[in-house]
Structure 1
Amino acid sequence: MVKLDQIVAVVDDDESVRRAIKRLLRSVGIEAETFPSGEAFLDRLSSAPSCRPACVIVDFEMPGISGLELLRRLAPAGVPVILMTGNDAPVVCEEALAIGAAGCLRKPINGDALMRGVEEALEQRQLP
């Protein structure tokens, strides 16, 4: 079961998506911190290097640093990343999973599928 003190980062340029995912996570006792861009998220990480999210949910297509680029930057740190995309091309999810994404979900996001993905990512992170 997911610990209540786990913090999940939500990175999406759409404020309504960030709010909806944060509410969904909180409804099951998972704290979330939201970021409007990949740059804002990376700035937060660099300002507090000891603070690492338990999982990151990131939009594929954003201005500036894309979700795929953010995934590439986070992969070496072993932070589980779930990519969300409105792009129907199978290659998007294939590339994300090849880079190391914990999951790839197509928009509109199914809440149950997202929660399963977050729980699996958090459980995998806790394994020795």
Structure 2
Amino acid sequence: MVNPNQIVAVVDDDESVCRAIKRLLHSAGIGAETFSSGDEFLDMLSAIPSYRPACVILDIQMPGTNGLEVQRQLAPMGLPVIMITAHDELSVRQAALGSGAAAYLRKPFNAAILIKAVEMAIDGSSRP
């Protein structure tokens, strides 16, 4: 069960995707904050060292710092990452999962699968 005080960071350059995921998480009792780029999210982590989301939902293809690079920078922090993408490529999937992603979901994804992936990532369970 997700602690209601825990926040999930949603990082996607598509504002409508951020809004939809935030609404979906909220409907499941999970708080979320959205970021429009990997750079914006990384800047927040640098500016406020105490800021640590329970999980990060991360788009792979974004302008600036892409999702795989953000994931690489997050690895030392031990934050669970769920990768999302509209362009599923086997090599990218393997890189993301090989680097420790808790889940890898192709857009559009099923709402229940995303919620389950978030719960499992926060609880430290295995991949869905």
Residue of structure 2 in register with 1:33 after alignment: 33
1:5 aligns with 2:5: yes
Unaligned stretches of 5+ residues in structure 1: none
Superposed structure 1 runs of 4+ greater than 3 Å apart: none
Cα distance in 1 between the residues matched to 2:87 and 2:76: 25
Residue of structure 1 in register with 2:105 after alignment: 105
Cα distance in 2 between the residues matched to 1:115 and 1:16: 18
| Aligned-residue offset at 1:23 | 0.2
1:15 aligns with 2:15: yes
Residue of structure 1 in register with 2:54 after alignment: 54
TM-score (norm 2): 0.94
Secondary structure of the equivalent of 2:91?
A: helix
**Count of matched residue pairs:** 125
Unaligned stretches of 5+ residues in structure 2: none
Please tell me the root mean square deviation across aligned C-alpha atoms, in Å.
Answer: 1.0
Residue of structure 1 in register with 2:42 after alignment: 42
| Aligned-residue offset at 1:88 | 2.6
* Identity over aligned pairs, percent: 60
**Deviations 1:38-83 (Å, cap 9, x if unpaired)?**
0100111111101101000010000000001000000111000000
Residue of structure 1 in register with 2:83 after alignment: 83
User: What pairs with 1:106-121 in structure 2 (closer than 5 Å)?
Assistant: 106-121=106-121
TM-score (norm 1): 0.94
